[in-house]
Amino acid sequence: MQQQNIELSKKRDLGEVVSDTFTFIKQNFKPLFKVVLTFCGLFMLATAAAYAMQQLKTFELQRELFNGAGAQSFSSPFDRFGIEYLLSMLFMMLSYTLMTLTVLSYMALYKQKGNVPPTTEEVWGYIKYYFLRVLGGTILLSILLILATAACIIPGVYVYPIFGLVFPIMIMENASFTYAFNRSFTIIKENWWLTFGTLFVMGLITYVGYMIFSIPTIIITVVNLFTHGTKTAASSAPLLIVISLIQQAGQILYVLPLIALGFCYYNLTEVKEGSGLIDRINQFGTHNPDSNLPAEEY
């Protein structure tokens, strides 16, 4: 007997959010990861390449320092890191932005289509429409989160789940950044611990999974260290490329907290507003073909 596709707008506790996150991935594995790799794969590879070039320069610095020539060859911080470091940071930010946008757009379209997986073309339409908005929001929220954490760790922890809800609101409700920012404080009220706990558990699961991906990297590095000695350890381009690709493969696990974040949004709106019930009432006796993006809210 075929399992019914999961309903997004539903009241859930922490355990249900976590279990339904994995159920959603299981039911949508092929179409979900198809769109993720289609729209994020190129930037993930670019991040791996830039990271490999950065590590090559770092190991070259270590080698020259070992030989007593490092101070002459690398006279400034930019010489030590340079364009490779800037490129790796840029591609990483674009990769995370696109992954966030792709996963949340997939969930928004999935709900809009009546719990049916969207096509690649439909997700691409959302990505084109929201990309600049989400990219700008990522930069602003990153700055605010850094400032809040720098002022004191507690404010940074407090605003983390609140800031996380901005992007689901922005995409699910076609809202401006200002509207989504203010609404995130409203819908999380009295449910902060549930949202924080969900993100903490999913973040922990993601971290453990990423560490599993890192095991081959550690083994390769240690074997190379004992095989070639300290002067040439992990300094070859092929080795660094393999390590970078393995590490980037682990980044695919970022899908887990993103889907959980989407479930947190639907859970909070269902608790506050009963949005799922309202949608089902409105659909009685109506035909709801695929529509364009909803009108923007302010």
User: How do residues 130-145 score in pLDDT, each as one tens digit?
Assistant: 999 999 999 999 999 8
Select the more confidently predicted residue: 6 or 81.
Answer: 6
pLDDT at 293 over 60: no
Q: Residue 71 burial by CB count (10 A; 0-12/13-18/19+): exposed, middle or buried?
A: exposed
Q: Is 56 within 8 Å of 279 (Cβ atoms)?
A: no
| Percent of the residues in the chain that have a pLDDT greater than 90, as a whole number | 49
Average pLDDT, stretch 15-22? 94
Mean pLDDT of 206-214: 87
- Checking if the pLDDT of 167 tops 90, the result is yes
pLDDT at position 237: 65
**Predicted pLDDT at 78:** 52
Please give the pLDDT value at position 60: 67
Q: If pLDDT is split at 50, 70 and 90, which confidence band does 250 have?
A: confident
The pLDDT tens digits of the residues spanning 26-55 come to 999 999 999 999 999 998 888 888 887 777
Distance CA 166, CA 29 (A): 25
DSSP state of 274: -
Q: Are 15 and 276 in contact (CB under 8 A)?
A: no
CA pair distance 9, 117, nearest whole angstrom: 16
Rounded-to-integer distance, Cα 135 and Cα 224, Å? 39
pLDDT band at 233 (very low <50, low <70, confident <90, very high): very low
pLDDT at position 87: 85
Q: Mean pLDDT across the chain, nearest whole number?
A: 82
Averaged pLDDT, 141-165:
86
Q: Say whether pLDDT at 247 is over 90.
A: no
First CA to last CA across the chain, in angstroms? 45
**Which range among 38-52, 128-142, 240-254, 281-295 shows the weakest confidence by mean pLDDT?**
281-295
Q: Say if residue 21 is exposed, middle or buried (CB neighbours under 10 Å; 0-12, 13-18, 19+).
A: buried
Q: Does the pLDDT at position 230 exceed 70?
A: no
Burial profile 124-159: b = 16 or more Cβ within 10 angstroms, e = fewer: bbbbebbeebbbebbeebeeebeebeeeeeeebeeb
Contacts 24+ apart (CB under 8 A), 19-22: 20/263, 21/202, 21/256, 21/259, 21/260, 21/263
Q: Which pLDDT belongs to residue 276?
A: 52
What token pair was written down for 123?
Answer: 């997700």
pLDDT at residue number 225: 61
